[in-house]
Amino acid sequence: MDRARAIRSSGLNSHSRLAEGRQAALLFYENSTRTRMSFESALGRIGARALVLTEATSSATKGESLRDAGRNLEAMGIELIVLRHPDPDSSEYLASQLQIPVVNGGAGAGEHPTQGLYDILTLEDALGSLEGKRIAIVGDIAHSRVARSNFFGLTRLGARVVFCGPPTLVPAAWRELGAEVTDDLDQALCGSHAVMALRLQGERLGPDTPASPGEMRARYGLDPAILSKYPELFVLHPGPIMRGMELSHEVADSERSLIMKQVQSGIFVRMAVLEECFGLAAAVPGESRRREAVR
């Protein structure tokens, strides 16, 4: 997070291209707009080359395993892989099979760590320290990797997280990990400093839909009436927004919305993560000293 802030204050275009000449592969087995473009852009901004491979155009369609794909990329001299994959354990698995770093770019319903980091950076910009702050995450919690990564990061920083949605989409087991759980939107928003809306993850739902889109919109959709009722509340969303469902147009584009700030923060966080994974941390002035101090 410190590195992301340092990159931001140095200015995107004057930040030194520490990874000049390095190569990374973006291996995407699930669709993406923001994550893929953001990693690709972040790699370019630190001087590295991004090689993009999507599942549909890869030999995965012929039956090649993830391990074989990764080993081939490594043999080509590619030094880092950003992986998006439907299996929650995919990044850890691939990293255990290769010598090069694997960055999780979204793993099924597991985690999406860079998203969690940049949501936190965005929230800290808006709220200052997150210690004691209450953050509501509303919608399809059960199938959201964003909810999980945010929960782990936010609680580590002393924030309280309340998950809200119908019981079929908010596992009560989250209580055991310290989250508040409610099916009542007002209960979630009252006393919260920010709300993150999540879409129904249609691609992960089986045939027995655990909640109807109509019910989700009526009970958990954020509209202008909610903004008037909670005028201090900041609104976040990881995208893609299903406008008219979890967020109305007015809310998505309102002054309380931090959504475009999330996207901007994503570039800085990913530049920092990629530099770190290329082993370039020591090349940043002051960084090695800071690390020693932390140790």
CA 75-37-16 angle, to 5 degrees, is 75
Q: How far is 180 from 236, CA to CA, in rounded Å?
A: 19
CB 58, min distance to ligand ASP, A: 19
User: Looking at 70, 101, 106, 165, which residue binds ligand ASP (CB under 6 A)?
Assistant: 106
Instruction: Say if residues 2 and 290 touch (Cβ distance below 8 Å).
Output: yes
The answer to the question of residue 199 lying near ligand ASP (CB under 6 A) is yes
The answer to the question of residue 116 lying near ligand ASP (CB under 6 A) is no
Structural tokens at position 136: 């509501």
The answer to the question of residue 112 lying near ligand ASP (CB under 6 A) is yes
Q: How far is 141 from 148, CA to CA, in rounded Å?
A: 8
Q: How far is 103 from 233, CA to CA, in rounded Å?
A: 32
The answer to the question of residue 145 lying near ligand ASP (CB under 6 A) is yes
Give the number of residues in contact with ligand ASP, rule: CB under 6 A.
9
CB 175, min distance to ligand ASP, A: 23
Structural tokens at position 251: 């809310």
Instruction: Say if residues 271 and 42 touch (Cβ distance below 8 Å).
Output: yes
The answer to the question of residue 238 lying near ligand ASP (CB under 6 A) is yes
The full DSSP string for 82-93 is EEEESSTTHHHH
Site for ligand ASP, residues 1 to 30, rule: CB under 6 A? none
Among 216, 212, 206, residue whose Cα is nearest residue 165 = 216
The answer to the question of residue 148 lying near ligand ASP (CB under 6 A) is no
Q: How far is 173 from 171, CA to CA, in rounded Å?
A: 5
Q: Which is nearer to ligand ASP, 15 or 143 (CB)?
A: 143
User: Looking at 146, 185, 226, 280, which residue binds ligand ASP (CB under 6 A)?
Assistant: 146
Q: Which is nearer to ligand ASP, 10 or 209 (CB)?
A: 209
CB 201, min distance to ligand ASP, A: 6
User: Looking at 110, 166, 239, 266, which residue binds ligand ASP (CB under 6 A)?
Assistant: 239
Q: How far is 244 from 12, CA to CA, in rounded Å?
A: 34
Residues that bind ligand ASP (CB under 6 A): 35, 106, 112, 145-146, 199, 201, 238-239
